[in-house]
Structure formats: structure tokens, C-alpha cells
A and B are shown apart, each in its own frame.
Chain A
């Protein structure tokens, strides 16, 4: 039967199908209770209990109010009327390693193989705002992403790539405004007007304090820089997504699906409130907010999480923050399959895991997708592994035919009940956070970090007592097989190469201009004027990342994490 719009019929708690015998439910229950059960814990991967069967009585749903139509409030069914019939999701593989030159070659390889957007992974020194030649950077340069220490590196990274025609996503947070400044300046040097630039900068500092831990300065100045970015881009770089509010790292740090949903959206609300407090109209910046979620291995729970996210965001933005523009109500999100679900054991199995996760993301209505490579628990992905990962989503797109129908699982008792369950859990977390005075006090008190940590420990314990199974790890183990695939290694010479480049840059540039621009950054820290504007000027003077971030550290102090164990 189809889900009725008539509340009375959905409230019928026993009837499973029209025409069923009146005692059918009771008979089913008796048969179920009498039957043998295999030895397993019937919960989601997040530990939420699952019923053996869902029916109309489990769904408290008004389809008009709670589902609506695709492209319409509350967007439960998707943000576009036609979804993937119009255009497939953007296939965007995160890439970056070694030097800017090497990553530039990988980008060109991916564009040649049908990828439609760029996604830059930075190395840890860059993510933390250190130059490649800083003492803190020893051993890390180019290891997990590309090293970008100045505009010169950005120019090499984007060399030969038409910046007015690609969209670029940059995964960076603490020093995000500085890297965005490098990108804008790089475009200007290519002759591209900032207004033509398209892309996203992650720029989501709150989840750094909560989960990912690549921070620069404490929350208040960090949030001020974010509103500076929102303000500058609204005027100068209107096609740029100024923030990608990310649940991915929260989930990878061990949270449950509900926590990922709740903390990500709570962070989103915080940015909205800061923007409003900075004097902006919510409809001026909310349409440029984007989101980034994990797609974990629990197929249905993930699909429901995506659907719940759209509904919660739409309602809050319209009803609490008074947004009038439907684009402000819509959550548009990027998804990455779950790195933590992959195993070092029998790594080829990761292709299969990633395929299920990719399918969940598509059925959940994602706007873009990164599929992980099978070798990522061992090292940076090899070219072959990256290609298989890309092909995985191309198979979902081209062969499975799932992209032809919008939100095909809507109306499933199970899916709707679980969507509602996640929404309710998220609402409970919003209340807890509010009780603590908001997101920042909740971070300072360690509340959010502790919730995530406790979930991580609980999951690990479940794996170790084998109530959660992981193939190749705690069941179907093949012994000490070790990696059977080729590993991609970063040549230590990358670090020396970066040192050389930086030494050359410091030699060549105009020192007076560097000092002038760094002083201007310092002045802006103090007088409250727009920092991104100063960063763009400093980028043009070839001030390095570490120099600019150094001024911020001096002016605002460094963030110190509360101890959560």
C-alpha cells in the first residue's frame, strides 16, 4: 500500500496492509517470537535499536507537512525538483600530496578521467598554518596533502587549469581565510575576476575544536574571521561557498549518526547566528552555506540522516531565523564515504564498502560525492585505487539506474520512522547545547567532545566483543596477511624541495611590502576591519602562510583544547 495522506489511516496501529486479517499482526508477532534468532545485536552501527519490522503504526508522519515535494519546503525529498534527472551529482575526488607541482598533475589526470570538480587536500603544516620550513612541520610536509606556503605554491597548483571554469573545494579550516586569499589572488594573476570563481572553502572551525583538531586561534576571533569571509565573499566572490559545515570529521572521530547530524547542524545554526549578529541579512549569506557529511556503512541509517538534515535545516532557517529565500532553507551537501569503515586487512574489500556507502549517499540525495580509495588506511591512494574509486560512483550513476527516481525510499515505514528518530535525537542534542549556553560554551566545557569520545569508545568495545562485526578484523580473518597492494609514498625530498622554494621566495620578494602588509593584517586584527581583504593584499605581496598565521597567533593567542578522556 502507499502511504496515505489521511492521518486516521496512518494512525491505525495494527493494519499492515489493507485487506489483511484483523489478527494478522498478533499472529506475526507470535510467529516472530517463536522463531529462532541468530546471535547478533540488532542495532544500527550507531547502536540504535532496530525493530524486526516497521509498519504504519511506527510512522508519525504527515506527508504534506513532513515530506512535501522535491525542491520544496521542507526539502526532505531533495533540494531540486528533478534531482539527478537534471544533472548527476558532482564527482569530486579529494586529492593532494607532495608538492604543488605533483598535485597539479594529479588534478589534470582526474579532469581527464571525467571528474567534474577539484578538491584540494592540504598537508598538516598548511592545515595548521605553518610554513613548510617551520620547526613544527618536520616530517609532515606533503605527507597527507599538498604543501601550500604562499601564493607562489598556489600558482603552481593551479597552473594550466582554467580557474574561471572549474569549481574548487579546499578542505582547510583554521587558516582557511588565508588560503582563500591565495586562491583569489591566484585567480587575479590568471586574469580571472573574483566574481567568476566557483568553489567551496571548508572554513568550519567549530568542528575543528570538536573533532578534527586543526585549529589556529580561539573560537571568538576564529568566528570573526568566518563572518569576515562571509561578508567579503557576498560582495566580491558571490559564487563562492564560504563555509562547508562538516559532519564528516565528527563522524570519523567516532560519533553516532545522530551526533553527526546534531552537532553539524548546531554548528550551522551558530554560524547563522554569528552572521546575523554581525549585521548581515540571513538571506544574504545563508544560500552560500554548504554542508559536508559522512556516508557510513549502515545503509538505511545514513539515507535517513541525509533526509532528516534537510528537514531540520529548512524548518529552523525559515521558522527561527526568519529566512525568506528558499535557497537559505536548503541544505546542499557534499558527501564522502566513511574512511573509518575501511580496514587495513584485506584492503580490496574496501571497494565493496565504499560502493554501498556511495549508493546510500546517492539515495540520500547528495549534491557531490567523494568515494574513498581502497588503500587509504595504508597510505595515500595510488592512481589505480583512485581510479577504481571514481569508477565506483560512475557505476552507481550510469548502471544501477537508481538516479532516475527522486527519493525512491520515501514512504518506507522503516525509512520514515528512522528519519524521524534521527530528527528527534538531534533535537534533544540541540536542547542540551542550548542548556549549556550554546555551541562555544559546550566546546569549552568539553561536552560535545566527550559525547563523541564516549561513542567512539563504545563502538570500539562493541567491535572487540564482536557484537559489531567487521569483516577481516573480527570475523572472516585470514591471519596476518598485510597489505597486498602497492603503496604510494611521499619522497622525503618533497620537504627539501619546499624549503628551497621558500628560501628562494624570501630572497626574491619585496621585503618592505611584506612588512607593510603584515602590519596591515595586525592593524585589522585590532580595529575589526575585514581580515580577508588584508589577507588578499598580503597574498599579493607574497607573505607566507606562516607569517600571516603568526600575526594571528600573536594577536589572538593559540587555542588550547580542554582535556577529554
Chain B
């Protein structure tokens, strides 16, 4: 069987707005990815644990409650604590530009603002993962 991009779409925090997360999840599925969705109201530890058990390549966080600056870094820390520092970490929601920049400096690969077309998100992830896998293959090739 062919390798597929496995993505965890997760909702940290207490807000119940899952429209964006689910729409993105559906779009990623339509781009051939395997998408695990956590459901609402998950703590950073739960999200990281699911990412670990499911061995995902990408973790996408969606939040609309304004708690991104405290919850996103916590998710990242929990991932790192489980040895998942390599996972492609992205986020979206109502996040002011300056916060996006700050998070991108803290290990988030990319933040997507409201109104980003879902195809853009899917294609970006696809491109990133293809490049990453190519790099890995090249590394393995040079080692053997």
C-alpha cells in the first residue's frame, strides 16, 4: 500500500466552533489524506497523545476562542515531550497577524487566517510533506 499523509485535526480549548476544523478535515480528505479528528474541547496532553498513537505526519490546530497564545505552545510542548518534534505543526482560527508571526517563530510551520481557501491549505501541506519525504529519502540513500 502507498504511503499516505496522515493528519490530526484537533480542537484545543473550550470553544465549540468546529465548522472550520471540519471543513478543512473534509478538504484534506478530498486531497487524498487520512484525517483523524479529535472532537471538541481537548487538552494539549490529549491532542499530543492522539498524535502519538496515530503516528500522524501533520497536526492541525483550530481555535477561535482567543486562547491560541497559551494553548498552541502547550500542544507543541506536549508533542515534544513525546518525541514528536518533527511533526508538521500548523494552526488556524481567529489569530491576529502578530500572533501568527510569534507562533511561527515557536515551531509552528504555518498559521492560516480566516478565509484561507481549504484547497490552499491542502496543497500547502501536500507540498511540505512531499519535500520532507524527499529529504528523508535522500538522507537514507546517502547513508546506505
Tell whether any CB of A sits under 8 Å from a CB of B in the complex: yes
Pick the contact of A456 from B22, B41, B67, B70 — CB < 8 Å?
B22
A interface residues (Cβ-Cβ under 8 A, vs B): 124-125, 127-128, 130, 135-140, 143-144, 208, 212-214, 252-254, 343-345, 377-380, 453, 456-457, 460, 463-464, 470, 473-474, 482-483, 487, 490, 492, 561, 563-565
List, in ascending order, chain A residues with CB within 8 A of B85's CB: none
Q: Which residue of A lies closest to B44 (CB)?
A: A138
**B76-84, B112-120, B126-134, B136-144 - the one binding chain A:** B112-120
List, in ascending order, chain B residues with CB within 8 A of A473's CB: 115
**B13-21, B52-60, B102-110 - the one binding chain A:** B13-21
Q: Which residue of A lies closest to B29 (CB)?
A: A565
Pick the contact of A139 from B13, B41, B117 — CB < 8 Å?
B13
Q: Does B33 contact A (CB under 8 A)?
A: no
Q: Does B50 contact A (CB under 8 A)?
A: no
A128 to B42, CA, bound (A): 13
A479 to B68, CA, bound (A): 25
Contact of A143 with B65 in the complex, beta carbons under 8 Å: yes
List, in ascending order, chain B residues with CB within 8 A of A379's CB: 66, 94, 96
Q: How far is the CB of B138 from chain A (nearest CB, A)?
A: 33
Q: Does B25 contact A (CB under 8 A)?
A: yes
Contact of A378 with B115 in the complex, beta carbons under 8 Å: no
18 A-B pairs in the complex with CB atoms less than 8 angstroms apart: A124-B14, A124-B15, A124-B65, A135-B43, A140-B67, A143-B67, A213-B18, A213-B41, A214-B16, A254-B19, A344-B114, A345-B115, A377-B114, A378-B94, A460-B27, A464-B118, A492-B70, A561-B39
Q: How far is the CB of A478 from chain B (nearest CB, A)?
A: 13
A489 to B117, CA, bound (A): 27
Question: Chain B, 87-106, contact with A by CB distance < 8 Å: what is the 0/1 string?
Answer: 00000001011000000000
Given A139-B13, A253-B19, A345-B115, verify A213-B40 contact (CB < 8 Å).
yes
Interface centre among A127, A214, A377, A457 (most CB of B within 10 A): A457
List, in ascending order, chain B residues with CB within 8 A of A344's CB: 94, 113-115
List, in ascending order, chain A residues with CB within 8 A of B113's CB: 344
Q: How far is the CB of B50 from chain A (nearest CB, A)?
A: 14
Contact of A565 with B37 in the complex, beta carbons under 8 Å: yes
Contact of A212 with B16 in the complex, beta carbons under 8 Å: yes
Q: Which residue of B lies closest to A344 (CB)?
A: B114
List, in ascending order, chain B residues with CB within 8 A of A135's CB: 43
Q: Which residue of B lies closest to A379 (CB)?
A: B96
Looking at chain B's contact residues, is the secondary structure mostly helix, strand, loop, or mixed?
A: loop
Contact of A140 with B119 in the complex, beta carbons under 8 Å: no
Given A138-B71, A379-B94, verify A460-B65 contact (CB < 8 Å).
no
Interface residues on B, range: 35 or more
User: Inter-chain contact count A-B, CB under 8 Å?
Assistant: 101
Contact of A464 with B119 in the complex, beta carbons under 8 Å: yes
Contact of A457 with B13 in the complex, beta carbons under 8 Å: no
Contact of B19 with A138 in the complex, beta carbons under 8 Å: no
Interface centre among B14, B27, B74 (most CB of A within 10 A): B14
Contact of B22 with A138 in the complex, beta carbons under 8 Å: no
List, in ascending order, chain B residues with CB within 8 A of A143's CB: 65-67
Q: Which residue of A lies closest to B13 (CB)?
A: A140
List, in ascending order, chain B residues with CB within 8 A of A470's CB: 115
Contact of A457 with B71 in the complex, beta carbons under 8 Å: no
Contact of B40 with A456 in the complex, beta carbons under 8 Å: no
Given pairs A213-B40, A253-B17, 20 additional interface contacts (CB within 8 A): A124-B13, A124-B65, A136-B14, A140-B13, A144-B15, A212-B16, A252-B19, A253-B18, A253-B19, A343-B114, A345-B115, A456-B19, A457-B22, A460-B23, A463-B117, A464-B118, A464-B119, A474-B117, A490-B66, A565-B25
Contact of B115 with A213 in the complex, beta carbons under 8 Å: no
Looking at chain A's contact residues, is the secondary structure mostly helix, strand, loop, or mixed?
A: loop
Q: Which residue of A lies closest to B15 (CB)?
A: A124
Q: Which residue of A lies closest to B12 (CB)?
A: A139
A563 to B19, CA, bound (A): 13
Contact of B96 with A483 in the complex, beta carbons under 8 Å: yes
Given A127-B14, A213-B18, A456-B23, verify A483-B97 contact (CB < 8 Å).
yes
Q: Which residue of B lies closest to A376 (CB)?
A: B94
A514 to B9, CA, bound (A): 41
A378 to B97, CA, bound (A): 9
Question: Chain B, 1-35, contact with A by CB distance < 8 Å: what is the 0/1 string?
Answer: 00000000000011111110011011101000000
Given A464-B118, A561-B39, verify A380-B14 contact (CB < 8 Å).
no
Q: How far is the CB of B46 from chain A (nearest CB, A)?
A: 11
Contact of A139 with B22 in the complex, beta carbons under 8 Å: no
Contact of A561 with B19 in the complex, beta carbons under 8 Å: no
Contact of B115 with A343 in the complex, beta carbons under 8 Å: yes
Interface centre among B18, B23, B26, B39 (most CB of A within 10 A): B18
Contact of A137 with B70 in the complex, beta carbons under 8 Å: no
Contact of A128 with B41 in the complex, beta carbons under 8 Å: yes
The 8 residue pairs across chains A and B that have the minimum distance between CB atoms: A213-B16, A139-B70, A139-B67, A124-B14, A143-B66, A344-B114, A140-B67, A473-B115
Contact of B19 with A140 in the complex, beta carbons under 8 Å: no
A483 to B14, CA, bound (A): 26
A138 to B14, CA, bound (A): 9
List, in ascending order, chain B residues with CB within 8 A of A490's CB: 66
List, in ascending order, chain A residues with CB within 8 A of B23's CB: 254, 456-457, 460
Contact of B14 with A140 in the complex, beta carbons under 8 Å: yes
List, in ascending order, chain B residues with CB within 8 A of A564's CB: 22
Contact of A460 with B70 in the complex, beta carbons under 8 Å: no
A464 to B23, CA, bound (A): 12
List, in ascending order, chain B residues with CB within 8 A of A460's CB: 23, 27, 118
A242 to B73, CA, bound (A): 41
Given A143-B65, A143-B67, A456-B19, verify A464-B117 contact (CB < 8 Å).
yes
Given A453-B22, A456-B22, A561-B39, verify A125-B118 contact (CB < 8 Å).
no
Q: How far is the CB of B35 from chain A (nearest CB, A)?
A: 8
A487 to B96, CA, bound (A): 8
